[in-house]
Amino acid sequence: MTIREILTEPNKLLRQVSKTVDKVTKEEQILMDDMLETMYKANGIGLAAIQIGVPKRIIVMDISKNGQENNPMYFVNPVIKNKNKEFSTYEEGCLSVPNQFAEVDRPATCEIEYLDYYGEKKLLKAQGLLATCIQHEMDHLEGILFIDYLSKLKKSMIIKKLSKSKKNSETLVI
| d(C-alpha 29, C-alpha 10), whole Å | 28
User: Any contact of residue 61 with Zn ion (CB under 5 A)?
Assistant: no
Tell me, yes or no, if 137 is annotated catalytic.
yes
**Total interface residues for Zn ion by CB under 5 A:** 1
What is the phi-psi region of residue 107: left when phi exceeds 0, alpha when psi lies from -120 to 50, beta otherwise?
Answer: beta
The active-site residue, picked from 103, 113, 137, 170, is: 137
User: Considering the complex, what minimum distance in angstroms separates the CB of residue 26 from Zn ion?
Assistant: 26
Of the listed pieces 64-72, 79-87, 91-99, 150-158, which binds Zn ion according to CB under 5 A? 91-99
User: Considering the complex, what minimum distance in angstroms separates the CB of residue 141 from Zn ion?
Assistant: 11
Residue 57 burial (CB count, 10 A): 23
User: Any contact of residue 6 with Zn ion (CB under 5 A)?
Assistant: no
User: Considering the complex, what minimum distance in angstroms separates the CB of residue 23 from Zn ion?
Assistant: 26
User: Any contact of residue 102 with Zn ion (CB under 5 A)?
Assistant: no
Report in angstroms the alpha-carbon separations of 62 from 14, 72, 89, 105: 21, 5, 20, 21
| d(C-alpha 136, C-alpha 123), whole Å | 18
**What is the SS3 assignment for 10?**
coil
Q: Catalogue the active-site residues.
A: 137
**Footprint on this chain of Zn ion (rule: CB under 5 A):** 94
